[in-house]
Structure 1
């Protein structure tokens, strides 16, 4: 088939590059397949003959010609553009002539398929036919585009006529014409967007369509206002802005339709920041084979990469709204990263010329990854600090501006217009700032594109408010202000949702809790501050009221964000528990807090300067208690969310925090028996021992990653070796989790039984792999496989011995001391050694059974097939929001993308259809809502 680019004729490949429509591409590919059935050698299906193949092409050609003639006769421009119709008919005639030649040469070839000359002639005839068909379809597609472009030109004229209207009736008349054209174009644009081959063009087309629909109401209201109040320069500026936005959107539509690059494109905004790129590249680069390490090249390169990361992190740490505590943590983690890298490089240099395997390099790599992960977390939360502050209240500045304008207070309107500009600049800056640490290309595109729109819109909102201030009773000025207000709030809501999309719920909740504590402290300072004048007392009262308002706003924002996350999950006991925690916060705690804080602020204002110290202390305690209500409710929401996570998914500022993950505590005087849950006891290990165990677990995870790369990629079906290896890995993971006090294993007996199951599976795996080794030709691979097989029974036996993890419990005074360090670390180390042996056994068993297998009918049957991606729904439930946001748990890749990566990386064959499907599915939600 001509689906492979190497099999296609050069002229056909050149033409296919110009195809922009999926329908055209599919038609050409279908014709290619039909022609190939004749010119190439394929096994014929049952009942199929070579003459029948030629007849199929002949029938397909006749159908194509008939359909083409009918389409030309019904072409919308048949009466207006005779030249285009003549060109289409000429292209169809060329298809007919070349098709007849192809059918004839095809018949000659199938009658004498051994003739090389006839094969060459038939192949050339097929190429000529395919070229003719492709040119005709591309020409027909260009005619369809021309029809749409003609409508776009009509809309350009309608916009200009509306802008030139001189009366209210003319505005209404031209607006109706303009909207009818927009509706007509909109339907065609949506169909065209689905049919486009290139995802970037699809995004740009839909972005222009969205801008067109959103700006049309602004053009209507601003033109009516200008007609009504031509003496005001603000009305003229509003109209000019709307006209320019309309023309820019139409120009973008026309450029994309014609296959050109628009001046401003949506797709160009989707660029990942330099800092996140540097961090990703650094983490990929530090894993070096010790034999390949070169001090004079690798050390300078890695050190330079680390310094670029530190420099980028410093720009975030030094930002105005970054908390001092967060800045200090970022600086500390940058230093820790430098230190971890130096220690790793030292280990690489020590390993030069050393043959024995050491855990020092894997441990060093794990430490660098850990420090990078910690730095990422602090950078993310520094960004969330900025987002939380800037988007705490996005409505009040504009509402206050409109209120002043409606009252006709010119001075106050100018002051509030300045405040609105500062607020707008802040949210635009924070939005762009947030993209530095995100790798979500689609989310970044939406944020940057919306930020650019808000930047152009903000001055016009102020102009509309100033115009309303000068004409507060004018209905047209009020409607104009309302249109700009609605568009502003719509864009800000879109921006908020997009920012939520690129931030995790864990980060948001952690930052919200910390900010509530900060607001509480600010309120306490306002209560305790001494006031010597009524003005100072008013300021203190205002600080208390402002702090209370911030706490209330943050709590309601938490409710909105968590509810939105839960809407994307199927209803379950877990989602209900989270929603119940949200309802308690929204319906009980927030209202109770607001009432108590309001009463406190009222009493403070009424008491004035006569507040004594005892009164201040009681009021402070009441404010603290009110804040605690909200803080505890937010904490309950976080705990409810964490109940569905493993400890590996919790990325906390407190490294060993188990709060909300199911940790239990017991009274110190409680009698502890041997039958008590040993997992709980492991959680009570001293912190120093926990860190040592965690270091060993990190090394185990290093081996686990190797396992996933070498073993988990194979399909278990028909391969007992992979099935046994996967089962052993899962059990070993559970055993290592037990040493941290989590996972499915609860008692020592559970661990012992798990070790026995590993030993049984290891024996079966060793027996199967040994059969493969015995049935293989003598080679180095066979010898290596036999050597690795000797290690599996040894490590299984050692794991059985180490599985008797016993937590030694002693009581010193009122404190319980639990110690099990040696047993736990031995257990993890032996699990790691066994996992390494299993990985090497599977790898060499594959080579031995596929490259060195002897022909033996009684040989063990093992099928080595790549594991397909897991089945997942192609379409996720969605709301009317314009952005699909990530939920709190880790989400798998979309099935089409997984399949594309699987095909591209492991099979190394296939086309780009997986990526096209993925882009197509991802854009369906944009088609309905226009971003």
Structure 2
């Protein structure tokens, strides 16, 4: 008899967690219902319970299809199909309710009817959900297309006025795309697709500032080819990122127009989904394992030989590298030869078995030993590849440091227009890039998780594309050493180099740690890393958050990042308005400190930055609350100068909300926690409370600026009266007490008044 157990949600081509999470409870409920129908119901109470379940299922289906039909009305392209799926679901729900109400006999026909109705309901509900998902994908792709059109307008503008207008629209559309792609990233089930979406979003986020400065430089110096190269590279890379978004959302289907973004003969699939030695070894080992069952029929033998050839071919990235030592190169070649020899031995033994006994159906001890010898050979090869990579990655710290020093040298030479020395140092810089690219390539090959493979691959791609642009920007500055825009452009590309070096270091650390520990799954962000979690003094074991927890924290972090950007924009207004507002302006200093701290907390939600553990996050939040208190005192003094009126009323209303939010954040930080669930809850609450406080601070700073401009108010003498900030933010540091937090995270020492147990 047909049973519901054969219905596997994974077989329905569901790509997102949200659809799966809606379907699984339905599967469970119907499974329970069918199990009741498959056993004798011995009481009126049992029959009544089943009837109620049938009614509940039908009512839930009715509500569900009503939403589906509403979606259909708003989207003509799926309207007919959606209505048909909703109709099927409605009929199946009604059938289940009737069967549950009227069927008393435990007959085979009744059971079959319930199962058929249940299968029909599950299938139709799945169709409705997948059609609704098409609408979500359509919205995301429309947002992507809007950004693409804005990029086209930005590329074609010929003056600053048009550029400012186009860039403003582009920024708003980028925010919308960031929200939609972030939601989609968290919803995707496939690890590789999630990592690819994260890589595309990171490129768009980081490239925006380079797009701004390179476009300004190109408009200011239109006759300079290097400015055009900078700008065109950024445009190309951002379009590639949007092509990747399309590729991920459509699950491997390329945008028909995206071929224009690729000048090379290599297809984007090869760039994005390139295979590794690790995956080739796994495939070969799986085939070797199956020989115990198949006894190597001719097709299997061909597959084995081909799989080993693929492994050997991919090891060439190791043996061809100029940075692989002679000893390691020789070891890899010897181990590849050994693998071929062991495989040939296995093939010979199986041929011998089948020659003497054509009916042989199970491996003998000799064949089993041959299988184990092949697997030992691949294990040793894998270990040798890891050792080779670790040797090269061990030099990363020195290489990245040298590269950073070269960037500083290149900047100074460009400012002084020393072209000969600039050329010499730029050649050395290209050598550093090539060396780091080789390390990235090897890291990708040995990475044990798909997300790390993707991270290593896109770190390599971004470095290959953006690394040389530091040199290009330097030549622009060398040609126009007095150009403020050319200098700003070089600074932004130098910042990108620092980001890339941080990415390389992080990927190397994560790949090597995973190889050494070999856990079953990749852990989430910063939370599982060694350190103190919660308020206990005993270090906890690593914890892993599930997908819903990740999505919730990441979304809140993004919202806080947007508020931080608004705060930065406000403080920049103060600086641009003249020295009268900027000089001795404690409001600006403390607002920038808070913005920097909030940004480091946002980085934590992405698994980046200097905040490595939950304890780091909580300590940073404590500093943040204290800095908000000091800002409150300064703004309170400032408010006494503001004349009465609507603006002063608005300022005081928002200002009076700060102490409440500060207290809520401090209470949350000091709230004791033990265990994974409590730690997640506390992290989520801290992020949310920080976001709320940041939001009201942003409004207060905005109103202060408006009042200061309107009434020409004086800021001299305003301060928090000697209260140490406990924070270090570079030029904008407060009058601290010797301990502090850097712009990117925690340093040694504890916050004044902090509870060390937190």
- TM-score if structure 2 supplies the norm length? 0.55
Equivalent residue, structure 2, for 1:702: none
1:444 aligns with 2:453: yes
1:488 aligns with 2:497: yes
- The correspondence for 1:114, drawn from 83, 107, 116, is 107
Distance 2:114 2:302 in 1: 61
Equivalent residue, structure 1, for 2:323: 321
Distance 1:342 1:186 in 2: 53
Q: How far has the Cα of 1:273 moved from its partner? A: 0.9
Q: How far has the Cα of 1:234 moved from its partner? A: 1.8
Distance 1:278 1:64 in 2: 44
1:26 aligns with 2:12: no
Equivalent residues of 1:276, 1:439 under 8 A apart: no
Equivalent residue, structure 1, for 2:710: none
Equivalent residue, structure 1, for 2:276: 272
Equivalent residue, structure 2, for 1:497: 506
Instruction: Summarize deviations over 1:799-819 as a string: whole Å, max 9, x none.
Output: xxxxxxxxxxxxxxxxxxxxx
Structure 1 residues 9-408: aligned runs within 5 Å? 16-17=12-13, 19-40=14-35, 41-42=37-38, 48-66=45-63, 69=66, 92=86, 95-108=89-102, 110-114=103-107, 116=109, 118-262=110-254, 264=268, 268-269=272-273, 271-273=275-277, 277=281, 281=285, 316=318, 319-324=321-326, 379-389=385-395, 392-394=398-400, 395-408=404-417
Q: How far has the Cα of 1:218 moved from its partner? A: 1.6
Equivalent residues of 2:185, 2:194 under 8 A apart: yes
Seen in structure 2, the aligned counterparts of structure 1 residues 239 and 4 have a Cα distance that, compared at 3 Å, is: farther
Distance 1:47 1:266 in 2: 64
Gaps of 5+ in 2: 256-267, 357-364, 517-524, 551-602, 613-683, 689-758
Seen in structure 2, the aligned counterparts of structure 1 residues 2 and 249 have a Cα distance that, compared at 3 Å, is: farther
Q: How far has the Cα of 1:451 moved from its partner? A: 1.0
Distance 2:53 2:514 in 1: 58
Equivalent residues of 1:278, 1:309 under 8 A apart: no
Instruction: Summarize deviations over 1:36-70 as a string: whole Å, max 9, x none.
Output: 44455355699953343233332343344346546
Q: How far has the Cα of 1:106 moved from its partner? A: 4.0
1:414 aligns with 2:409: no
Equivalent residues of 1:330, 1:378 under 8 A apart: yes
Gaps of 5+ in 1: 354-358, 508-563, 577-870, 888-923
Seen in structure 2, the aligned counterparts of structure 1 residues 160 and 7 have a Cα distance that, compared at 3 Å, is: closer
Distance 1:570 1:42 in 2: 52
Distance 1:266 1:335 in 2: 28
Distance 1:311 1:81 in 2: 49
Q: How far has the Cα of 1:503 moved from its partner? A: 3.3
Equivalent residues of 1:38, 1:54 under 8 A apart: no
Seen in structure 2, the aligned counterparts of structure 1 residues 189 and 4 have a Cα distance that, compared at 3 Å, is: farther
For the aligned residue pairs, the C-alpha RMSD in angstroms reads 5.6
Q: How far has the Cα of 1:477 moved from its partner? A: 1.4
Structure 1 residues 679-828: aligned runs within 5 Å? none
SS in 2 for 1:482: helix
Q: How far has the Cα of 1:494 moved from its partner? A: 0.9
- TM-score if structure 1 supplies the norm length? 0.45
SS in 2 for 1:261: coil
Q: How far has the Cα of 1:441 moved from its partner? A: 4.1
Equivalent residue, structure 1, for 2:544: 874
Seen in structure 2, the aligned counterparts of structure 1 residues 59 and 500 have a Cα distance that, compared at 3 Å, is: closer
Seen in structure 2, the aligned counterparts of structure 1 residues 378 and 286 have a Cα distance that, compared at 3 Å, is: farther
Equivalent residues of 1:251, 1:262 under 8 A apart: yes
Equivalent residues of 1:401, 1:417 under 8 A apart: yes
- The correspondence for 1:569, drawn from 514, 523, 530, is 530
Structure 1 residues 836-875: aligned runs within 5 Å? 873-875=543-545
Seen in structure 2, the aligned counterparts of structure 1 residues 567 and 392 have a Cα distance that, compared at 3 Å, is: farther
Distance 2:337 2:87 in 1: 74
Distance 1:92 1:293 in 2: 50
Instruction: Summarize deviations over 1:146-186 as a string: whole Å, max 9, x none.
Output: 33333222222222233333333443343333223222332
SS in 2 for 1:166: coil
Bigger radius of gyration among the two: 1
Equivalent residues of 2:277, 2:311 under 8 A apart: no
Equivalent residue, structure 2, for 1:762: none
Q: How far has the Cα of 1:341 moved from its partner? A: 11
Equivalent residue, structure 2, for 1:813: none
Instruction: Summarize deviations over 1:585-640 as a string: whole Å, max 9, x none.
Output: xxxxxxxxxxxxxxxxxxxxxxxxxxxxxxxxxxxxxxxxxxxxxxxxxxxxxxxx
Q: How far has the Cα of 1:111 moved from its partner? A: 3.3
Distance 2:442 2:200 in 1: 25
Distance 1:491 1:446 in 2: 11
Q: How far has the Cα of 1:221 moved from its partner? A: 1.4
Number of matched pairs:
518
Instruction: Summarize deviations over 1:484-528 as a string: whole Å, max 9, x none.
Output: 111122123212321233336999xxxxxxxxxxxxxxxxxxxxx
Distance 1:249 1:308 in 2: 29
Structure 1 residues 637-716: aligned runs within 5 Å? none
Q: How far has the Cα of 1:312 moved from its partner? A: 7.9
Equivalent residue, structure 2, for 1:461: 470
Distance 1:45 1:469 in 2: 91
Distance 2:351 2:608 in 1: 49
Distance 2:99 2:287 in 1: 60
Equivalent residues of 2:417, 2:481 under 8 A apart: yes
Seen in structure 2, the aligned counterparts of structure 1 residues 366 and 86 have a Cα distance that, compared at 3 Å, is: closer
Instruction: Summarize deviations over 1:700-723 as a string: whole Å, max 9, x none.
Output: xxxxxxxxxxxxxxxxxxxxxxxx
Seen in structure 2, the aligned counterparts of structure 1 residues 368 and 32 have a Cα distance that, compared at 3 Å, is: closer
Equivalent residues of 1:443, 1:502 under 8 A apart: yes
Q: How far has the Cα of 1:206 moved from its partner? A: 2.3
Distance 2:341 2:82 in 1: 70
Seen in structure 2, the aligned counterparts of structure 1 residues 206 and 383 have a Cα distance that, compared at 3 Å, is: closer
Q: How far has the Cα of 1:330 moved from its partner? A: 6.4
SS in 2 for 1:163: helix
Equivalent residue, structure 2, for 1:536: none
SS in 1 for 2:482: coil
SS in 1 for 2:544: coil
SS in 1 for 2:398: coil
Structure 1 residues 511-550: aligned runs within 5 Å? none
Distance 1:3 1:473 in 2: 78
Q: How far has the Cα of 1:329 moved from its partner? A: 6.5
Distance 2:64 2:231 in 1: 48
Distance 2:344 2:69 in 1: 72
Instruction: Summarize deviations over 1:59-111 as a string: whole Å, max 9, x none.
Output: 343344346546876x7x97x75676787667545544553344234433x23
Distance 2:384 2:189 in 1: 40
Equivalent residues of 2:4, 2:118 under 8 A apart: no
Instruction: Summarize deviations over 1:7-57 as a string: whole Å, max 9, x none.
Output: 47xxx998x32x333332333343344444445535569995334323333
